[in-house]
Amino acid sequence: MNSGLVNKIELDEYLQRQSALITRALEDYLQKYPGKSQTIFQAMRYGVLPGGKRIRPILTLATGELFGAPQSSLLPFACAIEMVHAYSLIHDDLPALDDDDLRRGAATAHRVFGEGMALLAGDALLTEAFHLMSSPDAMRCVAPELVVRLIHELSHAAGVGGLVGGQALDLEAENENDVDLATVEWIHVRKTGALILASVRIGAQVAGAQPADLGRVSRYGERLGLAFQIADDILDASGQTTAGEGAESSHNERKKATYPSVVGIPQARETLKELLQLCLDELATYGAQAAPLKAIARHVVARAIHGDSKSLSEEINS
Ligand code: GRG
């Protein structure tokens, strides 16, 4: 699995395989409840199951597997991270925030289930994430003290030190004309980066990674998190977001501060390439074992530079 992942077809197959694994595990977890036909369960399933790329939980699996953890130990944590991500998208789409009609190419949860039910589905997914991480199943694979540390880490990434804090400043910075690059980065690191960083760190810790290894994948995760948001902003600014991936339609015409809006698209692309090189440098020591993590970083960046990951290989050393 970890070796020989060198070309785009192999990466696509890998991403599809891992994504299907995570979707099946999420389905299983959400099946366990009695009364699953009630609207709240339908709204939760609608928010988390169809359409997501599953990049965060795939990162958890890839990092955990790099350091030798079995998938069965990683899956509850990977699924919890995807639940937190899905909650954040449902809430972000609500009229009080971005007021979007479309998410992942389909109607947003509040358009289908109403605002109250969508709000509750987001709340339920967020809570469920921590319920799952502290479940007997998870504790059978991972020592309870470590589970507590991982819950501490994910709640930090989801809370005011991460997602919520980043989103709050993003809201305040809307329509401001003089938002500087440091502020944009501050927002990105929390709103998008914190959960991506937590995804790799949690995978590594489930696997019992040594401090030096945890340090390396943490630096990889920090850079990838920033790169992910810059790439997303470039795709938005250049109108490249596709209906199958992340199509959104918003009533919210408010102007957001983004990397391309502050430094321009060419400079944002240069920054992306630099971040990719830094990601790859951190993984150099693992050789082919880190092929999935390297390929994911290339994939995230390449979409915003050339539209594919193959053409990047001539410019970036791995
Ligand atoms: C509501 C507390 C709270 C936070 C919301 C996630 C978020 C913060 C806002 C969503 C809008 C946005 C542009 C976020 C940046 C991160 C991002 C690009 C999310 C989309 O992630 P993908 O592309 O989505 O991984 P899929 O659909 O593939 O899961």
**Per-residue pLDDT, 3:** 45
Tokens at 92, concatenated: 């972000």
With a 6 Å cutoff on the Cβ, whether 299 touches ligand 1 is no
Mean pLDDT of all residues in 6-14: 80
**Worst-scoring range by mean pLDDT, 70-74, 170-174, 296-300?**
170-174
Residue in 169, 185, 232 to alter for ligand 1 test, most ligand atoms within 8 A of Cβ: 232
pLDDT surpassing 90 at residue 292: yes
Tokens at 206, concatenated: 């489930």
Backbone angles phi, psi at 144, to 5 degrees: -55, -40
pLDDT surpassing 90 at residue 225: yes
**Per-residue pLDDT, 109:** 98
Residue in 22, 191, 196, 240 to alter for ligand 1 test, most ligand atoms within 8 A of Cβ: 191
Work out the pLDDT band at 249, boundaries 50, 70, 90: low
Q: How far is the CA of 86 from the centre of ligand 1 (A)?
A: 8
Q: How far apart are CA 155 and CA 80, in angstroms?
A: 11
- The per-residue pLDDT for range 67-125, each reduced to its tens digit, is 999 999 999 999 999 999 999 999 999 999 999 999 999 999 999 999 999 999 999 99
**Per-residue pLDDT, 32:** 78
**Per-residue pLDDT, 243:** 39
Residue in 88, 102, 256 to alter for ligand 1 test, most ligand atoms within 8 A of Cβ: 88
Q: How far is the CA of 89 from the centre of ligand 1 (A)?
A: 5
Work out the pLDDT band at 177, boundaries 50, 70, 90: confident
Mean pLDDT of all residues in 42-59: 95
Share of the chain above pLDDT 70, in %: 88
pLDDT surpassing 90 at residue 6: no
Q: How far is the CA of 305 from the centre of ligand 1 (A)?
A: 20
The number of the ligand 1 atom at minimal distance from the alpha carbon of 232 is 18
> What is the gyration radius of the CA atoms in the chain, in angstroms?
19
Residues 6+ apart with CB under 8 A from 59: 196, 199, 200, 203, 221, 224, 293, 296
Q: Cα angle at 38 between 33 and 40, to 5 degrees? A: 85
With a 6 Å cutoff on the Cβ, whether 217 touches ligand 1 is no
Mean pLDDT of all residues in 169-174: 90
Residue type at 60?
T
Q: How far is the CA of 90 from the centre of ligand 1 (A)?
A: 9
- The per-residue pLDDT for range 141-161, each reduced to its tens digit, is 899 999 999 999 999 999 999
Composition of the chain by helix, strand, coil, percent to 5: 70, 0, 25
Mean pLDDT of all residues in the chain? 90
**Per-residue pLDDT, 78:** 98
With a 6 Å cutoff on the Cβ, whether 260 touches ligand 1 is no
Share of the chain above pLDDT 90, in %: 77
Mean pLDDT of all residues in 238-251: 57
- The answer to whether 100 and 248 are in contact (CB under 8 A) is yes
With a 6 Å cutoff on the Cβ, whether 89 touches ligand 1 is yes
103 three-class SS:
strand
Tokens at 245, concatenated: 């991936």
With a 6 Å cutoff on the Cβ, whether 229 touches ligand 1 is yes
**Per-residue pLDDT, 229:** 94
